[in-house]
Amino acid sequence: GAGVSQSPRYKVAKRGQDVALRCDPISGHVSLFWYQQALGQGPEFLTYFQNEAQLDKSGLPSDRFFAERPEGSVSTLKIQRTQQEDSAVYLCASSLWERGPSTDTQYFGPGTRLTVL
Amino acid sequence: AQSVAQPEDQVNVAEGNPLTVKCTYSVSGNPYLFWYVQYPNRGLQFLLKYITGDNLVKGSYGFEAEFNKSQTSFHLKKPSALVSDSALYFCAVRASGAGSYQLTFGKGTKLSVIP
């Protein structure tokens, strides 16, 4: 079946521009996560949705970062007034509700590579 | 705070030899532990996880990992390495308990299997 998809795969933005990154989770997956992966580092948690509810946004690095999942399916990560330090790969992951988000396996998309010039 | 250490940035192993990729963790309470693999320009692929029960966990592609609570380790192993196993491997931990959503990853270990 189809996995997690993300678009665009690559995005180049000029400093100060706003960008929107899209995530299509696996159909029926309740939980959705966003991660930021800097070059040479492991992914770092940004935010978590359970259906349409954003239950944890503690990893968002600044108020320029905003995520939404209005209908409990597709999610969008928006970055306003992009800065060079925002350059990274943004990964989306989803999981089916089995025992809960702590133990459920997360399935990752291919990521969006954002480069801010 | 929870953390993961992968002490080796790179591991080289000859094809057919056993491989080990090391991981140690720090977390409050009982840990949930995961291994993922990342191929170039692709997302992370799940290999295996430890939640509870048997300390030896078997996963995809012949990989296994052993949970050692006293040493706070969760090393990834495979009896016979393949060239196709060459990739970037990430260990991750999450604390048990309600409201624990954050999965914390290590920095990754690059595995190179030499033909």
Whether A59 has its CB under 8 Å from any CB of chain B: the answer is yes
Amino acid present at B86 = S
**What is the rounded average pLDDT for all residues in chain B?**
93
pLDDT at residue B30 tops 70: yes
A91-109 pLDDT per residue, tens:
999 998 766 666 788 999 9
Q: Which of A69-73, B8-12, B92-96, B100-104 has the lowest mean pLDDT?
A: B100-104
Q: In the predicted model, what is the mean pLDDT of residues A69-90?
A: 96
For residue B28, what pLDDT band results from cuts at 50, 70 and 90?
confident
pLDDT at residue A87 tops 60: yes
| CB-based contact A42 B4, cutoff 8 Å | yes
For residue A1, what pLDDT band results from cuts at 50, 70 and 90?
low
pLDDT at residue B49 tops 90: yes
Whether A53 has its CB under 8 Å from any CB of chain B: the answer is no
pLDDT at A101: 63
Of A48, A59, A91, the CB nearest to B43: A91
B71-105 pLDDT per residue, tens:
999 999 999 999 999 999 999 998 877 667 788 99
- In angstroms, the first-to-last Cα distance of chain A is 37
pLDDT at B95: 84
Contact call for residues A60 and A46 (beta carbons, < 8 A):
yes
Of A99, A103, A105, the CB nearest to B46: A105
Q: In the predicted model, what is the mean pLDDT of residues B33-42?
A: 90
Which residues partner with B111 through β-bridges? Answer: B11, B87
Show residues of chain B in contact with A103, CB under 8 Å: 32, 49, 51
Residue A24 neighbours by CB under 8 Å, 6+ apart: A4, A5, A6, A7, A73, A74, A109
The sign of the CA dihedral A66, B93, B107, B12 is negative
Share of chain A above pLDDT 70, in %: 95
CB neighbourhood size of A10 (10 A): 12
Could you tell me the two tokens for B106?
Answer: 């290590």
Interface test with A, best of B8, B10, B103, B107 (most A CBs within 10 A): B103
pLDDT at residue A66 tops 80: yes
Listed residue (A21, A18, A10) closest to A77, CA to CA: A21
A6-60 pLDDT per residue, tens:
999 999 999 999 999 999 999 999 999 999 999 999 999 999 999 999 999 999 9
